[in-house]
């Protein structure tokens, strides 16, 4: 099966007064059609930047995609013209952003904004587009969709705005939906609604979804594959069960340990990863996690470990010592 999206050795940089920010440092992976991929990491790990690179939405300057290939359905997006990219954006790849308060334009009605996307990409006439827009809104669970088309964004609640954004993203039946922290600004009960919505829409449309989040809880129930990112690298990649139950990278181990569990015993302490993520301008040689890693050895500070198969061919980990750690933890 041909991958829908294949990223090869992607490197994205930002040139600032203080120096070159190495935001993405050689990310490679493939996304199959219809797959839900969770991209997990803390702020500054490059998860959003790598998605924006796929969309070619990196502001240049100061940003720059320094190296790599992004192959979408056999075409390298990085070599496409601006017009060619514009056609892919919105039609083949759609994106939903974090802040539903600012991603809709407050001076136009919600309906106008969806209809505009429909007429632009699908060439529908106004009446057809309006009908389709109402269908989309009711599909994402907005009651009285026909009426609410004429509402302005401020008349929608945060959750409804995010639904409207999803409706707009889905308007052209994209093959890939990139959701960049779409529920971070929302409350848990609303987040649950959105997660459910995306799950059912994915079943219905069969598109691939890239769900970017800092929350290991959300992707646990949503994603099939998970990339864990740290300092611009993928440090661990595998399917959901491998990531949560056969965790291999010390960063993922620490991250999971630092989450409180609803079902934990009283009096338990959280495991906290000491220190801070490294500065992306002065990235150390070797493994970026070494400074915070309790298992580090000499080699970790000098050479960056490659992302290589751990126990199964599809479970990849970038750590020199994952086997030792496994043994140590078993004791």
Partner 1 sequence: MSHNDRVLVEVRNLKKYFPIQRGIILQRQVGSVKAVDDVSFNIIKGETLGLVGETGCGKTTVGRTILRLYEPTSGSIIFDGVDLASLEDKELRRMRRRMQMIFQDPYASLNPRMTVGSIIASPLEVHHFASGKKKRERVQELLQMVGLNPEFVNRYPHEFSGGQRQRIGIARALALNPDLIICDEPISSLDVSIQAQIVNLLEELQEQLGLTYLFIAHDLSMVRHISDRMAVMYLGKIVELADRDEIYLQPLHPYTQALMSAVPLPDPDASKRRERIILEGDIPSPANPPPGCNFHTRCRYAEEICISEDPEFREIKAGHFVACHFAERFQIQ
Partner 2 sequence: MSVYEEVTVVDFAVREHRSLWVDAWRRLISNRTARIGMAIVALFVFSTVFAHFFWKYDPKTDLDYALKLKPPTLIPNEEVPSVHLFGTDKLGRDIFRRVVHGGWNSLRVGLVAVSISLSIGGILGLLAGFYENIRETVPERMALRALVGMALGALNAWIASQWYQALLFAGIGILSVFIREHDKRRRRIMFIMLGILCGAVPGFIAHPMVALVCGTLGALYGLFFSFDIGGKFFSDTVMRFMDIVLAFPSYLLAIAIVAFLGPGLEKGMIAIGVVGIPIYARLARSSVLSVMQKEYILAAQAVGESHGRILFRHIVPNILSPIIVQTTMGLASAILSAAALGFLGLGAIPPEPEWGAMLGDSYRFLASGAWWAVLFPGLAIMLSVLGFNLLGDGLRDALDPKLQI
- Binding flag, residue 260, partner 2 (CB under 8 A): no
Terminus-to-terminus CA distance in the chain, angstroms? 41
**Cβ proximity to partner 1, 126 vs 329, nearer residue:** 329
The token pair that represents 185 in the structure block: 């600004």
Which one among 241, 302, 314, 328 touches partner 1, defined by CB under 8 A? 241
Instruction: Decide: is 191 part of the binding site for partner 1 (CB under 8 A).
Output: yes
User: Smaller CB distance to partner 1: residue 26 or 277?
Assistant: 277
User: Please, which residue, 217 or 294, has the CB nearer to partner 2?
Assistant: 294
User: What residue has token string 């939906």?
Assistant: 177
Query: Which tokens is 40 given?
Result: 């997990």
d(CA 173, CA 201): 10
Q: Which is nearer to partner 1, 76 or 221 (CB)?
A: 221
Q: Is 283 in the site for partner 1 (CB under 8 A)?
A: no
Task: Answer yes or no whether residue 294 interacts with partner 2 by CB under 8 A.
Answer: yes
- 173 touches partner 1 by CB under 8 A: no
Residue 171 vs 247, nearer CB to partner 1: 247
Contact positions with partner 1 (CB under 8 A) in 75-134: none
Encoded one letter per residue, x for contact with partner 1 by CB under 8 A and - for no contact, window 11-30 reads: --------------------
Q: What is the Cα–Cα distance from 154 to 110, expressed in whole angstroms?
A: 10
Residue entry with tokens 């990491």: 41
Q: Which of 123, 263, 313, 330 binds partner 1 (CB under 8 A)?
A: 263
Closest CA to 228 of 36, 55, 37: 37
Other beta carbons less than 10 A from residue 264's beta carbon: 10
Distances (CA, A) of 244 to 223, 248, 249: 12, 9, 11
Q: Does 260 bind partner 1 (CB under 8 A)?
A: yes
Query: Which CB sits closer to partner 1, 123 or 260?
Result: 260
C-alpha separations of 309 from 50, 71, 242, 306 in Å: 22, 23, 12, 10
Q: If we measure between CA atoms, which residue out of 78, 70, 58, 79 comes closest to residue 13? A: 58
Of the residues 243, 273, 287, 318, which one makes contact with partner 2 according to CB under 8 A: 273
302 token code pair: 């000098």
Interface residues with partner 1 (CB under 8 A)? 42-43, 157-160, 187-193, 195-196, 214-218, 220-221, 240-241, 244, 254-264, 266, 268-274, 276-277
């Amino acid at each position: 099966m041909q991958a829908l999206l294949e990223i090869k050795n992607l490197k994205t940089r930002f040139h600032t007064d203080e120096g070159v920010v190495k935001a993405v440092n050689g990310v490679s992976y493939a996304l199959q059609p219809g797959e839900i991929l969770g991209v997990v990491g803390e702020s500054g790990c490059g998860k959003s930047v790598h998605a924006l690179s796929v969309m070619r939405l990196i502001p240049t300057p100061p940003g720059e995609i320094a190296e790599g290939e992004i192959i979408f359905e056999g075409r390298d997006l990085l070599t496409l013209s601006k017009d060619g990219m514009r056609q892919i954006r919105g039609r083949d790849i759609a994106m939903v952003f974090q802040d539903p308060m600012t991603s809709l334009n407050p001076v136009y009605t919600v309906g106008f904004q969806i209809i505009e996307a429909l007429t632009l990409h699908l060439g529908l006439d106004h009446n057809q587009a309006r009908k389709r827009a109402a269908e989309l809104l009711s599909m994402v669970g907005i009651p009285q969709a026909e009426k609410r088309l004429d509402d302005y964004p401020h008349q929608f609640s945060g959750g409804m705005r995010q639904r409207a954004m999803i409706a707009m993203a889905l308007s052209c039946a994209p093959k890939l939906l990139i959701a960049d922290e779409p529920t971070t600004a929302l409350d848990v009960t609303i987040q649950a609604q959105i997660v459910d919505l995306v799950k059912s829409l994915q079943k219905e449309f069969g598109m691939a979804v890239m769900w970017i989040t800092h929350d290991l809880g959300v992707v646990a129930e949503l994603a099939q594959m998970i990339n864990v990112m740290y300092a611009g690298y993928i440090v661990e990649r595998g399917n959901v069960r491998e990531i949560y139950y056969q965790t291999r990278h010390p960063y993922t181990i620490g991250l999971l340990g630092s989450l409180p569990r609803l079902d934990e015993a009283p009096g338990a302490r959280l495991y906290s990863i000491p220190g801070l993520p490294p500065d992306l301008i002065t990235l150390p040689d070797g493994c970026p996690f070494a400074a915070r890693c309790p298992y580090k050895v000499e080699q970790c500070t000098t050479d960056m470990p490659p992302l290589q198969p751990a126990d199964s061919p599809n479970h990849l980990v970038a750590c020199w010592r994952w086997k030792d750690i496994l043994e140590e933890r078993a004791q």
